[in-house]
Amino acid sequence: MTHTSSQHVSSSLDDLCINTIRTLAMDAVQKAESGHPGAPMALAPLAYLLYTRHLKHNPADPAWPDRDRFVLSNGHASMLLYASLHLSGYDIPLDEIRNFRQWGSITPGHPEHGLTPGIETTTGPLGQGFSNAVGMAAAEAHLAAVFNKEGHAIIDHHTWFICSDGDLMEGISHEAASFAGHFGLGKLIGFYDDNRITIDGSTDLSFSDDSARRFEGYGWHVQRVADVNDLEALDSAIAAARAETKRPSMIIVRTVIGYGSPNRAGSAKAHGEALGVEEVARSKEQLGWTAKEPFTVPEEAVSHWRRGNDALAFANDAWRRSLISYAKAYPIDAKELGRRLQGELPGGWQQAIPTFNAENGSVATRASSGIVLNALAAKVPELIGGSADLSGSNLTIIKDSPTFSAANHAGRNIHFGVREHGMGGIMNGMALHGGVIPYGGTFLIFADYMRPAIRLAGLMHQRVIYVFTHDSIGLGEDGPTHQPVEQLTALRAIPNVTVLRPGDASEVAEAWRAALLHKGGPVALALTRQKVPFIDRSHRGAASDLARGGYILDAGAKRSEPDLVLIATGSEVGLALDAQKRIEEGGRAVRVVSMPSHEYFLKQSAEYQASVLPEGVRRIVIEAAHPMSWHRFMRPGDVMIGIDHFGASAPYQKLYAEYGITVDAVVAAASS
């Protein structure tokens, strides 16, 4: 939205609107006796200005696809958002503000995506929101490049964010900012709340970066505003930021934390605790707020906040009309865009999934993954992603697509650079934006570098796909720094994260199918560097049973009820089949269960689970990883053949032999 200069002058009505945020923040935190009043009180003018004059949004239709995205990266200032959204007319009743931070409310301590209308992403862990905003801007740039036509800018919105000292101290903000500068995300506009206060006190204690030069160094367009209360200065900085279309913009805004509070303003005491009843009263007095009742929302403030809502609704309608004319001129593109924005997969995509045989299937699972990804990418154009500088190892390149670059945002191969954490946050932002399904690769060991973003993908139920290769000591010579041990267990421990460790090429194909069909959470593929044998399934369980998480791969020569079950994943499935043969030579009935996913298996009925893993039958689990996540499938007397110590630098065959992850070890355990 552009606005005439007559609106730029701060009026007493503007002040009333701004102070309504401040008083709601004070009151809500006071009532909850917990929360963060300082940043909302400081940033109220900026939020007011953005929501009423600059954001292209429609409170009546929070899901409008071409809306501007707004991210409050310093999510602890959530009351800034809740108050602004309430005052803008989003469906957040005042009672919800009264219930700030309470059980069952839609106003939790930190903003949560999917819970509250108008909240684009879950923020709180500092730095994550920053990277989400970068991902949203990347998705917008990509979709605009793919779908916009001459005279039809059907995807054309900005991504705005506010960040704080804490966000800028966190390393992920460096990764994401560097990415945004390099890839020329010109419709990304950020504000840095330069209040020089963190929890411990003044930033003098720990932070003396020259943030302006830092962002200039990334290739951002940087401006300063000396006082957040100067709406005119903010407005003109925003106009300049909009005019800059090739570079992301950062506006460094000087604020005073706890603005309005006579005894807390400018001090760390304003950051994260209620002001106290008396200080709230004093602050209201200082702000010229006359109402005595807490949670007072003056009618003039509401109507002034919403004065532009008709125009916003009209803009939303105009976009819908432009979509109709786009559909007339470009019916195929319009249908495709609609499908992608709905998150629906294209018809017939599953037919693209290749099948493997003994000739082409005896390869590392990372190699079969690269083949499946390329076959899928041809049919699923919303698959877009890459690797954190390991594309040749992760095999994540889509061979017939160009590279995503500042000059060509239509490319689907994203070189995330050596920025795993940034990649995780950017992927979350892309998925949240919609219209794309992001994937990103690195070595499984470096999942640790992106773990906070993976956790948020789980929390936000986002469809992102991780391609984690080099998934065990089986990577060999790179040694213990690169050999994952506890990572599978650690990923399995994150709620709503699905880990798939396929055992051969056929399971890899099924793992990708499952990853694309999987809605409501991230999927992590764990893939080998080393070759694994193709598994002949003519007399065995079908790879499609991967979708059940665990299944009877080989019922044993006798096909009777087993007296021993071998459970294995990934590269250890072949080993289990070899061990089965040896143990059965001794006359026993041995079943091999392939268990590529704990999460899918635990979703099956108790009957199914018991039919695969019969109670009372001894189990040996084989996985070249830490045993901790397997204990729930193990009973007294069962054995895990795994590894609970760091690996070493040597050829992988030697490591498996030295650490006792061998057929002999399984045979020995079977008779122990």
| CB closer to ligand TPP, 80 vs 414 | 80
- Give me the sign of the Cα torsion angle 48, 18, 26, 200: positive
Q: What are phi and psi of 420, to 5 degrees?
A: -65, -45
- Maximum CA pair distance of the chain? 91
Helices (H), 89-170: 94-98, 128-147, 165-169
195 counts as binding ligand TPP under rule CB under 6 A: yes
**Stretch of 162-170, 331-339, 373-381, 609-617 lying at the interface with ligand TPP (CB under 6 A):** 162-170
29 counts as binding ligand TPP under rule CB under 6 A: no
| CB closer to ligand TPP, 48 vs 192 | 192
**Stretch of 164-172, 243-251, 381-389, 440-448 lying at the interface with ligand TPP (CB under 6 A):** 164-172
522 counts as binding ligand TPP under rule CB under 6 A: no
Catalytic hit among 279, 382, 420, 486: 420
Quote the crossing angle between the two packed helices 572-585 and 663-670, to the nearest 10°: 50
**Stretch of 4-12, 112-120, 123-131, 538-546 lying at the interface with ligand TPP (CB under 6 A):** 123-131
390 counts as binding ligand TPP under rule CB under 6 A: no
| CB closer to ligand TPP, 66 vs 165 | 165
339-345 contact pairs (CB < 8 A, 24+): 340/143, 340/381, 340/382, 340/434, 340/435, 340/436, 341/65, 341/434, 341/435, 343/434, 343/463, 343/519, 345/380, 345/516, 345/517
Query: Least separation, in Å, of the C-beta of 1 and ligand TPP?
Result: 28
> How far is the C-alpha of 4 from the C-alpha of 6, rounded, in Å?
5
Q: What are phi and psi of 461, to 5 degrees?
A: 60, 40
Query: Least separation, in Å, of the C-beta of 36 and ligand TPP?
Result: 6
CA angle at 498 for the pair 141 and 70, rounded to the nearest 5°: 30
Query: Least separation, in Å, of the C-beta of 127 and ligand TPP?
Result: 6
Per-residue interface string for the shown chain with ligand TPP, residues 62-91, x marking contact by CB under 6 A: ------------x-x---------------
> How far is the C-alpha of 526 from the C-alpha of 216, rounded, in Å?
38
Which residue bears the tokens 């990418």? 377
441 counts as binding ligand TPP under rule CB under 6 A: no
Nearest CA to 501 out of 540, 462, 470, 456 is that of 470
| CB closer to ligand TPP, 164 vs 374 | 164
**Stretch of 58-66, 124-132, 305-313, 437-445 lying at the interface with ligand TPP (CB under 6 A):** 124-132
Query: What are the residues whose beta carbons fall under 8 Å from the beta carbon of 138, sequence distance 6 or more?
Result: 179, 180, 183, 185, 404, 409, 414, 426, 429, 430
| CB closer to ligand TPP, 206 vs 408 | 206
With contacts defined by CB under 6 A, how many residues of the chain interact with ligand TPP? 19
Whether the CB-CB separation of 50 and 70 falls below 8 Å is answered with yes
> How far is the C-alpha of 92 from the C-alpha of 86, rounded, in Å?
5
Q: What proportions of the chain, in percent to the nearest 5, are helix, strand and coil?
A: 45, 15, 40
Structure tokens at 403: 């590279």
Query: Least separation, in Å, of the C-beta of 43 and ligand TPP?
Result: 9
**Stretch of 50-58, 191-199, 316-324, 332-340 lying at the interface with ligand TPP (CB under 6 A):** 191-199
**From candidates 144, 197, 280, 621, binder to ligand TPP by CB under 6 A:** 197
| CB closer to ligand TPP, 89 vs 166 | 166
Active-site annotation holds for 420: yes
40 counts as binding ligand TPP under rule CB under 6 A: no
**From candidates 124, 135, 248, 570, binder to ligand TPP by CB under 6 A:** 124
**From candidates 113, 271, 482, 548, binder to ligand TPP by CB under 6 A:** 271
What DSSP character marks residue 346? P
Whether the CB-CB separation of 430 and 438 falls below 8 Å is answered with yes
> How far is the C-alpha of 75 from the C-alpha of 121, rounded, in Å?
10
**From candidates 166, 370, 458, 522, binder to ligand TPP by CB under 6 A:** 166
**From candidates 38, 361, 474, 550, binder to ligand TPP by CB under 6 A:** 38
> How far is the C-alpha of 309 from the C-alpha of 302, rounded, in Å?
11
Nearest residue (beta carbon) to ligand TPP: 166
Strand partners, 192: 163, 252
Strand partners, 221: 249
198 counts as binding ligand TPP under rule CB under 6 A: yes
Query: Least separation, in Å, of the C-beta of 17 and ligand TPP?
Result: 22
Q: List active site positions.
A: 420
Q: Can you give the binding site for ligand TPP, defined by CB under 6 A? A: 36, 38-39, 74, 76, 124-126, 164-166, 170, 193, 195, 197-199, 257, 271
